[in-house]
């Protein structure tokens, strides 16, 4: 079992825990929505996705965002997952990211759909 993200206390008054599959999904969220420089001891952690939202909408920017996200996931989680595809969509004031990946330990395909209000 792993500590759940975001940190919280469960109904028993203990640190909430999660299984390996959900923990990896939590890690994906952390990589995507953490800006480089935000973590003290890991200044290059994250991908700066939230900063890219304000770039002009175009196919070139969308492709650059997808490559940046995929690269960050491979860099920080490459030992745990194999990224198959990344789709980033800006809907009104919400950023929606869909990541299709496989856990390296079992090879099963999974999808993480993450949204963030901007």
Which class for 60: exposed (0-12), middle (13-18), buried (19 or more C-beta within 10 A)?
exposed
Q: What is the number of domains present in the chain? A: 1
Q: Tens digit of pLDDT per residue, the chain (118 long)? A: 788 887 889 899 999 888 888 899 999 999 998 999 999 999 999 988 877 767 666 677 777 788 889 999 999 999 999 999 998 877 676 778 899 999 999 999 999 998 877 6
Task: Tell me the residue range of the domain where 63 lies.
Answer: 2-117
CA Rg value for the chain: 15
CA distance 111 to 74: 16
State the Cα–Cα distance between residues 27 and 38, nearest whole angstrom.
15
Any idea what the CATH number is for the domain that residue 44 is in? 3.10.450.40
């Amino acid at each position: 079992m792993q500590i759940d993200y975001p940190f919280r206390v469960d109904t028993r008054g203990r640190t909430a825990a999660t299984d390996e599959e959900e923990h990896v999904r939590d890690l994906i969220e952390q990589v995507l929505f953490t800006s480089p420089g935000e973590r003290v001891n890991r200044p290059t952690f994250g991908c700066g996705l939230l900063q890219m939202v304000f770039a002009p909408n175009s196919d070139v920017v969308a492709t650059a965002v997808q490559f940046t996200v995929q690269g960050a996931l491979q860099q920080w989680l490459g030992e745990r997952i194999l990224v198959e595809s990344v789709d980033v969509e800006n809907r009104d004031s919400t950023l929606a990211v869909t990541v299709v990946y496989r856990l390296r330990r079992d090879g099963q395909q999974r999808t993480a759909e993450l949204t963030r209000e901007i």
